[in-house]
Structure formats: structure tokens, C-alpha cells
Amino acid sequence: MRLGRHARWLLALVPFLAGCSGFWDAPSTSGSGTGGCTTNCTTASSGAFYILSNGTAPQVAGGTIASGKLSAISGSPWVLTNAPYSMAISPNGGFLYVSTTLGVFVYPIVNNVLGAGTQLTQDDNALGIQIDSTGNWLIEAQQVTGAVTMAALPLNAYTGAAAGIEVTTSYTMANTAAAVQSRLAISPDNKNIFVPLGGGGVMVVPFFATAGAGVSPFGNATLIPVANAGGSSLSVAVDPQGRLFYIGQVAGGPSGNGGGLLAYYYSSLGGTLKQASGSPIASGGLAPNAILPDPAGAFVYVANGQGVGQAGNITSFSISASGTTYTVASGSTVATGTQPLSLAEDNSSQFVFDVGGVSNPHFDVFTFSTTTPGKLDAQFVSPAAASPLAILAAP
């Protein structure tokens, strides 16, 4: 069972060897947190994680942390034949889905190892994909000029294969609206899909998982515009407790400058949107590229880019409740490599990962502070394959 952050911080987490072997046996450097091994350095281990990269050799790389070092999963990296956009994993952890310029492919996962891929869709250029919580739908966000097309392919949750024909619904948007790559999110109750559209705001699409064969499972979309002129919605996430949803926005801070985190009551969807107390709040950087809520809802983390060639950061925010009133407040910040793009928490609830960087691609590993609730401690950074796009953890 996964522990909430408010309980986990009390557990004694074992720091890692600062000079341990890097990912794919590349050299690594010490992090800026409490890293530095003293005793019992081999007791903490992670679940599997997967990194999607789009360099000269597009690939998926898989790894774990065990015995105090990063280790590649057998067979990793797995080469892709086409440039990728996004990836998603089934709720049962049995299948990895990757969208590419040629279509969406599914890869079976056995003991963390990817098997041979099977093509599910063709030439749909899905910038974002997700698997719904039932495992019965592959959801895609496809971009065309002036419109966003949502596509849904029925799946067999036990085999990962297509179980029917793909259905689509197109939504007309302003020409300035463009779906942000690898940022599609589905609410925990499986009823709403969130698609960040850059300067076009965030599109919220009702979703009906019980739709029959050949029937679109999508409802009428609504649009949450950017908070300030010149703003751009880069990231979205939903509190696993179903209380709040979050938008990371350029020029979305309280003064209209810098990045902003906006926290809305999930229950206010479909009516007048209500923000949590303290929202909007400065995200801690210029470009809030990724948002990672705590499974227990106590904290949310934002990965911020700070501009070309500048180190990024992850800023933590606490979420407190008084009855049905919620408040968001900023906490600690930890440095990352340049332009962090994606965040994931492994299934042991001990580690947070980020990937990013174009000229200096990186993979960062963090643990949770044993003394300060919500604080991340950097353990080490490792080189990553060129142009990493996203990271996800096995459920």
C-alpha cells in the first residue's frame, strides 16, 4: 500500500552513494540534497520506470534502483522506428503504449521487460495519450489547425490489443490553441479529460467509459482560458483524492509574471470555477512544465524551466484542508538539470524522478526528506539519452 507524504516523511529513508554508477553505467555526479552513503546503503529499491526519448535514435529506456545504484532493465533501451510524441502505461502495469509519427504501438511488459511492439493505430500523430482507469480505452489528443481531435480506441484490458474501432470527436479551437505534447490527464474518477492548449488555455472534455461500441465516449468540451494576456498553459494534473485540479501556466503567477500554479476545486467543473485559497501562486520558475500531485493529496510538485541553459527546479506546495476549504502554499525548492519536462513517483513511494534537457539531457533522482514534510532531497543525476520527452513509473 502506498503511504501518503504526510506519513512517509516519518520513515527513515536511506540515502544513496553519491558516486554510484549512473544510468546505463554512465558516470554520475552527486546531487545537491542529503545524498552521501554512510551505512545500510543497499536497502532502498524502486519500482520500474521508463524514459521516452526523441533524439537521433528514438527509444524507450527502462531502469530500476537497487543495491544503491541505477540499473538498466534487461534489453533496455528499446529502439523506436519513428519519432515519438507520448507514452502511457496500463493500470495493471502489463502494457506500455507509445504514440509516434507512424501511429500508436503497444508493448507487453513482463518482469519489467518490454516485448515486441504491435501497431494499434496509423498516422494519427497523437501528441498526448493516456489509458483510462478501467484499462478499456486508449485516449488520444490529436492536433490539427484550429481544432483538437479526441480519439478513443477500445482495448482488451487483458491483452492490450484493440477491441473495436477507434472513434473521434473534433473540437474547434482558436488557431493559437495547440495541444501540448505528453500532457494529457484523466481525472481519478475517470469522468474528465484535461488537455493543455498553450495560449488557448485548457480544454476539459467529459468522458463516458461505458459508451457502447462505435459511440464516442466524449461530451461537450469547455475551455479554461489563460489567466493573463500572453499566458500559456503547459501542464495539468488532478489530485488523486478528487479534490483539486492543477494548471501550470506561463505568466500565470499572482502578478501576471513568471510561472504560476493554479489550483481549482474539482467539484466546481461545469459551473463557476473556484480556486483554492492562495491560488494562483508563483510556480517557482518561468515554465511550469510538469505537475506531480501527492497520492494522499498533501503536497504537489511542479517542475520549472528557467530558460535556455539555466538549471531548472522542482518546487513543492502543501495542500491543507479546513473542512471543505483548501489552501495551497509554497514550500521548498530543489535544483534540477536544464528544462525539466516530466515528473514521476515510483511505486515504492520513496523516489521522485525527472527528465529534461535538450543540449544537456538529464535524469534526476530524489528522495523525500526525513525531517521536513514535502521536501525533496536530491540524490544523484545521470546522463540520459538525447531529447528526453517523458518519464513514467510502473503502477
Instruction: Kindly state whether residue 270 falls inside one of the protein's structural domains.
Output: yes
Check: CB of residue 379 under 8 Å from CB of residue 33: yes
pLDDT of residue 10: 30
Structural domains of the chain, count? 1
Dist CA 371 CA 11 (whole Å): 9
**Residue 328 within any structural domain of the chain:** yes
**Structural contact between residues 112 and 62, judged by C-beta atoms closer than 8 angstroms:** yes
Domain-located, residue 294: yes
Burial tier of 322 (Cβ tally within 10 Å: 0-12, 13-18, 19+): exposed
CA 112 to chain centre: 19
Q: Where are the alpha helices (DSSP H) in 269-329?
A: none
Residue 382 placed within a domain: no
Q: Which residue has the higher pLDDT, 183 or 379?
A: 183
Provide the whole-model pTM.
Answer: 0.90
276 part of a folded domain: yes
Measured distance CA(222)–CA(218) in Å, rounded: 12
pLDDT of residue 34: 30
Query: Is 3 part of a structural domain of the chain?
Result: no
User: Which residues make Cβ contacts (< 8 Å) with residue 147, sequence separation at least 6?
Assistant: 170, 171, 172, 173
The residues with which 327 forms a beta bridge, in sequence order, are 277, 320
pLDDT of residue 173: 82
What does the alpha-carbon distance between residue 6 and residue 389 come to, in Å, rounded to a whole number?
30
DSSP state letter for 162: B
78 lies in some domain: no
CB 128 within 8 A of CB 113: no
What would the mean pLDDT of 56-67 be, rounded to a whole number? 91
- Indicate whether 166 belongs to any domain: no
Q: In angstroms, rounded to a whole number, what is the distance separating the alpha carbons of residues 239 and 246?
A: 8
Is the pLDDT assigned to residue 29 strictly greater than 90? no
pLDDT tens profile 117-131: 999 999 888 999 999
Domain with 311 in it = 229-338
